[in-house]
Amino acid sequence: MLSVHTSPLHQPGTGDAGGMNVYIVELAKRLAALDIEVEVFTRATSSDLPPSVELAPGVLVRHVTAGPYEGLVKEDLPAQLCAFTHGVLRTEAGHRPGHYDLVHSHYWLSGQVGWLAAERWGVPLVHTMHTMAKVKNAALAEGDTPEPPARVIGETQVVEAADRLIANTADEAGELAGHYGARPDQLAVVHPGVNLDVFRPHAPGTAHRAAQRAARARLGLPAEAAVLLFAGRIQPLKAPDVLLKAVAVLLARRPELRERLVVPVVGGPSGSGLAEPKSLQKLAAQLGIGDVVRFHPPVGQPALAEWYRAATALVMPSYSESFGLVALEAQACGTPVVAAAVGGLPVAVRDGETGRLVRGHDPADWARALEPYVTEPELAARQGAAAAAHAAGFGWGAAAAATAEVYSGALVRPAGRLALTRRKPA
């Protein structure tokens, strides 16, 4: 596996670490459980990092030196792809020919490296986009920066070279075909999963409300509050500002709700524009809701599950989501999700059953969608139970088994346009 711009060892919710990191970690572990050994190549971001780290039995993370360890943002990395590719090829050269059976690249930067590595080794290339420039540019947040033409070109090249393209949903597969010319024989739809051992409603035999109160006590939240949670990177794409503006609209209309409403924002900075936490704090103050909003740094998965269990609802006003793993995690904890009707979220969230889907990003519309979760406690309890049952069908074991089938198909029947030019491994 290739993950150039972010390491599976990094903490999701800050920098460029997010759902893709979780995806790679969980998928790699489950593939290893199926006797598929995985090595993940990622860029070294510190001189103190060892050349390799065992993430789990059968999963090795390799750190590749490519450019300065610190100070590079994702937009700087195309200039380091040559150095990164050299590191990957040099590692393979230390093994006997045929050591790697297949390359699975994640995000377009990794796809560029995977394209060359797969050609050099004569093995199939499987690629997962995670996000696409053309899709993001079609739904930009106000003040956000469009993805550059170089990324569009790079993604088009990767699609042309890949033997298989794994899409999170059928809609994403359609976007790959419509925007990038992907062919039917390249496309495979595999829904991501959720770690059901970590993300679960509560301990067996514990009532949901009791578990929620206990989680709130541990997090310092009021026992009887309505808690509208945002969890993720603070960046325009994720639109935490829409949540804050919606809360301001709701409180202007229903000021009596202020004393029982809490809005935690759990995550770190990323991107540009509204990406700075201080900007979001300033916005909360300008809107007059600074007393309602609480900012918390990113946390690990067990602590994040506590936040989900403590919440009345998770709010995801994103402008674009390839799937929305956070939505699955929250639902697995028995928490309904109020999400934008974009990307894979209509698959992750069942509108009216496990939460609510909102079209557009008008704060007034979001205020109307959120109000019942503040005023009707039974709504969250009813949808939360349905959410947990829905999420239970998205285990990572099933995702890994489906991905392994994609690998097998690529090994038997390569589909990439360039497949016929590849040499056979010695």
Domains 2-193+396-423 and 208-391 share a fold: yes
| Gyration radius from the chain CA atoms | 22
Sign of CA dihedral 127, 162, 80, 321: negative
Q: Check the annotation: does 11 bind a ligand.
A: yes
SS3 of residue 157 by DSSP? helix
* pLDDT over 90 (residue 234): no
Question: Is 383 a known ligand-binding residue?
Answer: no
The pLDDT of residue 415 is above 60: yes
Q: Is 316 annotated as a binding residue?
A: no
- 6 marked among binding-site residues: no
pLDDT tens digits, one per residue of 298-316: 888 899 999 999 999 999 9
pLDDT of residue 425: 45
292 to each of 2, 287, 288, how far by Cα in Å?
Answer: 41, 11, 9
Give the pLDDT confidence of 284-293 residue by residue, as tens digits. 999 999 999 9
Q: Which amino acid is at 424?
A: K
Is 273's pLDDT higher than 70?
no
CATH of domain 208-391: 3.40.50.2000
Query: Per mean pLDDT, which range of 112-126, 303-317, 389-403, 406-420 is the poorest?
Result: 406-420
Under the banding of pLDDT at 50, 70 and 90, the label for residue 5 is confident
Flag whether pLDDT at 24 surpasses 50: yes
Q: Is 329 annotated as a binding residue?
A: yes
Beta bridge partners, 264, equal 294
> Which comes out higher in pLDDT, residue 249 or 73?
249
Question: For position 203, what pLDDT does the model report?
Answer: 61
pLDDT (tens digit per residue) in 351-375: 999 999 999 999 999 999 999 999 9
Concatenating the DSSP letter of every residue in 288-327 gives T-TTTEEEE----HHHHHHHHHH-SEEEE--S--SS-HHH
Is 23 annotated as contributing to ligand binding?
A: no
Residue 98: which of 419, 424, 404 has the closest Cα? 424
Residue 400 counted as an annotated binding residue: no
Count, residues in the chain: 426
What span, in angstroms and rounded, lies between the C-alpha atoms of 28 and 73?
25
- Which of 292, 239, 315, 296 has its CA nearest to residue 13? 296
> Is 238 within any annotated ligand binding site?
yes
Query: What is the model's pLDDT at position 17?
Result: 59
Query: What pTM does this model have?
Result: 0.85
For 25, 203, 333, 335, the CA distances from 215, given in Å and listed in that order, are 26, 12, 12, 13
pLDDT at 11 over 90: no
Q: Are 137 and 175 in contact (CB under 8 A)?
A: no
224 is in an annotated binding site: no
Q: What's the chain's average pLDDT?
A: 90
Residue 241 marked in a binding site: no
Is 5 annotated as contributing to ligand binding?
yes
- Residue 13 in marked binding region: no
The answer to whether 416 is a known ligand-binding residue is: no
Structure-block tokens of residue 29: 């572990």
Give the pLDDT score at 426. Answer: 41
Rounded alpha-carbon distances, angstroms, from residue 392 to 170, 189, 209, 215, 333: 20, 19, 20, 21, 10
At residue 298, the pLDDT reads: 87
Structure tokens at 117: 């590595």
pLDDT per residue over 140-151, tens digit each? 877 788 999 999
Residues 46, 226: Cα–Cα separation, whole Å: 42
Residue 100 labelled as part of a binding site: no
- Per-residue pLDDT of 244-258, as tens digits, reads 999 999 999 999 999
Q: Is the pLDDT of residue 62 over 70?
A: yes
Q: Which residue has the tokens 């969230």?
A: 349
Tell me if the domain spanning 2-193+396-423 has CATH number 3.40.50.2000: yes
Read off the pLDDT band of 16 (50, 70, 90): low
Residue 423 annotated as binding site? no
pLDDT of residue 211: 83
| 233 marked ligand binding residue | yes
What is the C-alpha to C-alpha distance for residues 240 and 208, in angstroms, rounded to an integer?
Answer: 27
pLDDT classification of 416: cutoffs 50, 70, 90: low
DSSP 8-class letter at 51: S
Rounded alpha-carbon distances, angstroms, from residue 396 to 191, 201, 325:
9, 17, 11
State mean pLDDT over 198-202.
88
321 has binding-site annotation: yes
The pLDDT of residue 6 is above 60: yes
* Statement: residue 13 has pLDDT above 90: no
Nearest one of 136, 130, 129, 174 to 156, comparing CA atoms: 129
Query: What per-residue confidence (pLDDT) applies to 106?
Result: 97
Q: Where in the chain are the domains?
A: 2-193+396-423, 208-391
Share of the chain above pLDDT 90, in %: 75
* Residue 397 is assigned to a ligand binding site: no
